[in-house]
Structure 1
Amino acid sequence: MPGISNFSPALTGLIPVLGAISSGVVIPFQAGANAMLGRSLGHPLWAAVASLLVSLMVVLPLLLLLKAPMPALALAARGPAWMWAGGVAGVFYISAALVLAPRLGAGGFIAAVVAGQMAGALLLDQFGLAGFAVRAVTPGRLAGALLVVLGVVVMQFAGTGAASPAPAAS
């Protein structure tokens, strides 16, 4: 099977973008499913726990199937403490989605998340934080981020009529 580097440069650049888009498609579903699960379990944080447990049950067999080597815990222990904050960020995101997605709607919530991601990404790139190389905020990159924020405003506040209640969990 040919590697990704055997394709044309345009296709090589497109494949990761399509992968990212594909993963992004499931995020609104995750928010809605977790919100409904939170209502069914009686509290949004129980849905966060359930979501993380299901994630663990999916990842562990994949690690075994792929014959992934055991983690290098000694090496990881020597790394910066902040690198473990990804788990905290995941809990924050899942919990925010549980509470906010039903209020903002799938489109409004995801548009706001993307705006926040753009702002965070610009800061991480500008200052080379979280292991990213320094990549200056240029006028073009800033304009792109501002267009995303404008998209959030349009998605959330354009007159689309009243929201109807979500169907009950069955």
Structure 2
Amino acid sequence: MSTLHWASLLLLAAFAGAVVPFQSAINVNLGRGLGHPLWATLASLMVSILVLLPIMLAMRLPLPSMAFIGKAPLWMWAGGAFGVCFISLALVLLPKLGASGFMALALAGQVVASLVLDHFGWFGLEERLITLPRLAGAMLLIGGVVLIQFGAMPAKSLAAAG
């Protein structure tokens, strides 16, 4: 893989992570306006479908195999449930923890869970053992979470103190 291709993949992955706090903050406001976070979760997922379907039609993607759909294990369909879990928890927790606090904690959870998934090669992933450097990286990230969450003081508190 060329260096340019590798760098493009890294930038795209960073972009994928960068859009999440925007999505969460926007959905918090949508949930307030709609009267409950779950309405915002539903609206977010419906907009996802409305955006994705025209793209799929423009790409002329073939229909999936009905044989696969009928025999796929149930765990393969859990991604949507995890998406609902993340969106809904973001709507509830982001206003309480702040965008940086929530995202830091969510990222720490993602990294720890990812280390476990990689280590055991679950769900068809290639095994990548938890090594000392990888564990140290996770611990540094968790240390960063502590600094981000507990080093933050709401601007209102700073104004009152000054």
| Structure 1 and Structure 2 fold alike (TM over 0.5) | yes
Distance 2:107 2:16 in 1: 13
Unaligned runs of 5+ in 2: 157-162
Q: 2:153 aligned with 1:161, yes or no?
A: yes
Alignment correspondent of 1:39:
32
Work out the CA distance in 2 between the residues paired with 1:77 and 1:156.
45
Q: Which digits, 9 at most, give the CA deviation of each residue in 1:65-85, with x for residues without a partner?
A: 111111123213322210110
Shift of 1:163: 4.5
- 1:88 matched residue in structure 2: 81
CA distance in 1, matches of 2:46, 2:19: 18
Once residues 41 and 111 of structure 1 are traced to their aligned partners in structure 2, the CA distance between those partners, rounded to angstroms, is 27
* 1:45 Cα deviation from its structure 2 partner: 0.3
CA shift for structure 1 position 23: 1.4
Say if 2:30 is the partner of 1:62: no
Q: Matched residues in 2 for 1:163 and 1:124: separation?
A: 39
- Where does structure 1 lack aligned partners over 5 or more consecutive residues? 165-170
Count matched residues. 156
Cα distance in 2 for residues equivalent to 1:68 and 1:117:
30
1:109-156 deviation line (CA, Å, top 9, x unaligned)? 110011000011011011111221111000000001111111110000
Secondary structure, aligned partner of 2:78: helix
**Whole-angstrom CA distance in 2 between matches of 1:153 and 1:147:** 10
SS state at 1:67 partner = coil
Q: Report 1:4-153 matches (<5 A).
A: 9-153=2-146
Q: Report the Cα distance in structure 2 between the residues aligned to 1:162 and 1:18, rounded to whole angstroms.
A: 31
Amino acid at match of 2:58: L
Q: How far apart are the structure 1 equivalents of 2:19 and 2:91?
A: 15
Determine the structure 1 residue equivalent to 2:160. none
What is the TM-score normalised by the length of structure 2? 0.92
Q: Could you tell which deviates more after superposition, 111-120 or 77-86? A: 77-86
Over the matched positions of the two proteins, sequence identity in percent amounts to 49
TM-score (norm 1): 0.88
| Alpha-carbon distance in structure 1 between the residues aligned to 2:129 and 2:82 | 24
Note the aligned Cα RMSD (angstroms). Answer: 1.2
Whichever structure has more helix as a proportion of its residues is 2
Write the distance in 2 (CA, Å) between the matches of 1:17 and 1:76. Answer: 32
CA distance in 2, matches of 1:91, 1:163: 31
Alpha-carbon distance in structure 1 between the residues aligned to 2:9 and 2:33: 36
